[in-house]
Amino acid sequence: MNQDRHKILTESIKRLLRRNAIPHLSKIMNKTHAADLSRIFQSLSLSHQHKLFDLIKDIEKKGILFSEMDEDTFLYFIADMKIEDIVAILEYMPSDDVADIIERLPEDKADLILKTMKKKESEEVEDLLRYGDDTAGRIMVPDFIALREDHTAQQAIESLQKEYVDVEMPFYLYVVDEYGKLTGVSSLRQLVVVSPDTPLKEFMSTAVFSVRTDTDQEEVAKLVARYDILAVPVVDHMNKLVGIVTVDDVIDIIREEATEDILKMVGAGQEFVETKSVFKSTKIRFPWLFASCLGGIIAFFIIGHFEKSLSKVTYLAAFIPVIMGMGGNIGTQSSTIVVRGLSTGLLHVRDIWSVVFKELSIGMLLGLIYGSLIGIVAQLQYNLPAFAVSVSIAVITSMSVAALVGSMVPMIFGRLNIDPAVASGPFVTTFIDIIAVFCYFQIATLLLEL
């Protein structure tokens, strides 16, 4: 739903609420997708939210709306609800979504809900909650098809019709041995084309990708993107099939991880998770800015060290911004390219030298261009060739060093298995600030014989 339609719908719902036009509202509630309703709810009062919620007839849709609401809206919303009513809805939801919700709740409420739920369902949820955050185990669903490898095609078709008629997305028919270990995968089409008494193990494909319950969700996403599959089977440490991760969850992961990558690079990693509060955001951004502040203070001492030069040639100061700016910007370009390249798999840590060499070449080339340009400006303004040359060389040096550091640091962090996105930003910026200022003053002092 685009902005305009969203706005029109929100307005008309508000109008209908004022007129208390229940039949009309009921029609809208049951026709509009839960993902859109969640956005509309954000701008309604709590009592209006409840009034509309009660109009939804499909209990599964109520569950989707639960999952789609943002954290704050959801917590306020269910604070007023009876535990039994909440549980009635949760029991219609996929267990991975219920686990997400349980995690958001205060502990006492979460416990109460789990106790009230049917035993089988609460156990499924508690099983999921036992796996670490951001692992395959945490986001998998138990809603998969597992056929025995010694069964025939005919037996398999029968069990599909009996046991598995409720499975939402029967893309892949996983095949397991007598211990439940994953041994292969088949498809509806294969079941139909072979002769009915062929055992599955004779025609199943044994090239089946799987992940472990403790595999990082980012790895799962990479697998799905790389091999264009719709679901990944998840096995435990005994290779027993325990769940699948479906592509819709993978899409969410890919979006989240990209956002996290971007925000981490500027030191605002968790901001979208814990939004809204100014103080939380301040706390999140503080450390990154501290690194940069430290760099600035070191630059200050370096400049202080060259105070004698500066007092003789005051206009040395005038070129500090452009030299720092050019170094900082090309350094950010290099590190961004490397960080994103590593996280999408387009670059590999083993290619470190070719990547760094390429970035250094670009840095030197752009340094030559901008160094000459800025040198010409300096010459036109002060007509002092030695000074203009100093400025030029300082720009070339700082841009080359920046491209070198900007590409090498994330590569090294990647090789040390430290997240390049987190570590590169403050490190690269601070380092480049210091190097740029130092080179500039050192070169100028030498060339101008100050």
> Where in 314-343 is the site for its own copies (CB under 8 A)?
314-326, 328-330, 332-333, 336-337, 340-341
141 near its own copies, judged by CB under 8 A: no
User: To the nearest whole angstrom, how small is the minimum distance from the Cβ of residue 446 to its own copies?
Assistant: 19
- Residues 192, 199: Cα–Cα separation, whole Å: 13
Instruction: Out of 28, 44, 88, 365, name the contact with its own copies by CB under 8 A.
Output: 365
Nearer to its own copies, 148 or 420 (CB): 420
Residues 421-440, mask of contacts with its own copies (x by CB under 8 A): --------x---x---x---
295 near its own copies, judged by CB under 8 A: yes
Q: Which stretch binds its own copies (CB under 8 A): 52-60, 117-125, 143-151, 308-316?
A: 308-316
Q: Which of residues 195-224 bind its own copies (CB under 8 A)?
A: 207, 224
Q: Which stretch binds its own copies (CB under 8 A): 85-93, 100-108, 146-154, 311-319?
A: 311-319
Q: Which stretch binds its own copies (CB under 8 A): 85-93, 107-115, 178-186, 362-370?
A: 362-370
303 near its own copies, judged by CB under 8 A: yes
Opening angle at CA 352, ends 349 and 358, nearest 5: 135
289 near its own copies, judged by CB under 8 A: yes
Instruction: Out of 22, 59, 79, 293, name the contact with its own copies by CB under 8 A.
Output: 293
User: To the nearest whole angstrom, how small is the minimum distance from the Cβ of residue 80 to its own copies?
Assistant: 26
8 near its own copies, judged by CB under 8 A: no
Instruction: Out of 8, 46, 81, 230, name the contact with its own copies by CB under 8 A.
Output: 230
- Residues 13, 43: Cα–Cα separation, whole Å: 11
Reading the block at residue 263, the tokens are: 């925000």
Instruction: Out of 29, 86, 366, 443, name the contact with its own copies by CB under 8 A.
Output: 366
